[in-house]
Amino acid sequence: MTTPAPSDDPRSAAAVPATGPSRRRTAGARITLTLAALGMLGPFTINTVFPAFPRIGEEFGASDVVLQQLISVYLASFAVMSVFHGPMSDALGRKKVMLTGLAIYILAMFGATLATGMGMLIALRILQGVSAGAATIVSRVVVRDLFAGAEAQKLMARIMMIFALAPVIAPVLGGWLLLLGDWRWVFAGVGLYGVVVLVLTALMPESLPKEQRIPLRIGAVVGALWEVGRSLTMMRIALATAFGFAAHFVFVAAAPIIVVRLLGLGEQDFWVLFVPLILGMMAGSFVVGRAADVMERTRLITLGYLGTLAASVINLVLVLIAPAPSGGLDVTLLPVLIGPMLMSFTASLFFAPIQLEILDLFPHQRGAAASLGTFFTLVMNALLSGVIAPLITGSLAVVALAALGYVIVGALLWAWHLRGRRVGSDAASG
């Protein structure tokens, strides 16, 4: 079965009808919860481990830089394998790929409780990264399989609102699990969450009918990736997403250093940073859902980038004029938390809609589009966690400057995409 090559004009996607239920059907609570739970797997895998860093470092004699690799190797392996999860789901079906990935992920998570050194623990984190994307990336494709247009944007917004809880729940849960024993309890707890997600996914319907799947051949999979990867439009949007979202994710990636060293707080205090971040993200996702019927998607994305630029500048100013945090839970923390909260709000305005923008470019190869569209963001997140975070956390001001730099690049890439779209529109009408 052959599929037509996509055009670099986003309008060529032209709302291909969603498969499965009618586009007019509102997403049920169970499918919304299941898709959100699949998306939350990533934040739980990353953030729940943060409070355990000091204990892991003490037991294995690992430095801050080495401990950061527990995040970076997970994200790097997630990114590499993510290129294949989407095309595999185009051939095998969404559900089969997600369930297989979840089963491997659960084994790797429980395996971490048996780790006897940093080498073994890092190897198991790589296995977790290799498998986790099968659930989280493919779940985004399911949204567009089942729904289109405003309904797809509303569902994506509802998923993001629930998903936004994960980064704040995760480190708090990690801190609570540490009250039960050593750091191994953290991995066991996340493994149990994976089992719950596996059961929910098993109860979910398959969203890609067999007649719409591509052949399971290396040539077909690589061909789908090639068709998507050679699109300049897709590259611009994917890179704009990676840099724009990095303005928010830099605070997540550097959280162990920001919370403990720069703010002077303890392993049960990660909520201080994550609550403002998640409140901002939930508020932004709520606005995205409300805007689905009243605002063009590209306009909402543009507002998101402009807002994140403004919020990044506000954050830098507040950090520069605010007194240094006293090391306790007091009012000195407020000025340095306002900016990250605003940036989470504005980044949420473009993050969910821009995922649909990529998927709609390739209506016949959504899995491959989801994989490559996510790949650049994942690589950026891995670099932030393992390489950049240790370099920019000398002070809160340097972190703020880095966030501003990222969103400037992201906004310029999005502006380039809009200009290319206008040029293509003018050429077509001429």
How is 40-94 classified by DSSP, letter by letter?
HHHHHHHHTTGGGHHHHHHHHT--HHHHHHHHHHHHHHHHHHHHHHHHHHHHH-H
Domains of the chain, each with CATH number or no CATH: 27-429 (1.20.1250.20)
> pLDDT at position 9, please?
41
Segments in the chain below pLDDT 70: 1-27, 168, 216-217, 220-221, 267, 326, 423-430
CA-nearest of 206, 226, 210, 223 to 2 is: 223
Q: Residue 286 half-sphere exposure, CB side, CA atoms within 13 Å?
A: 7
- What H or E segment, with its residue span, contains residue 348? helix 334-359
> What does the pLDDT look like over 216-275, one tens digit per residue?
667 766 777 777 878 888 889 999 999 999 998 899 888 878 888 888 887 678 788 888
For residues 359 and 75, the answer to whether their CB atoms sit within 8 Å is no
Strands (E), 168-310: none
* Residue 293 Cα distances to 142, 150, 233, 345, angstroms: 21, 6, 25, 20
Which pTM was predicted? 0.69
* Whole-number Å distance between alpha carbons of 117 and 120: 6
Structure-token pair, residue 185: 């309890």
Residue for token digits 């599929």?
3
Burial bucket for residue 13 (CB in 10 Å: 0-12, 13-18, 19+): buried
Whole-number pLDDT of residue 137:
77
Q: How does the average pLDDT of the chain come out, rounded?
A: 82
pLDDT of residue 320: 92
Give, to the nearest 10 degrees, the angle between helix 297-321 and helix 271-291: 150
How much is the pLDDT for 426? 47
401: how many CB neighbours lie within 10 A of its CB?
Answer: 17
Instruction: State the Cα–Cα distance between residues 78 and 380, nearest whole angstrom.
Output: 12
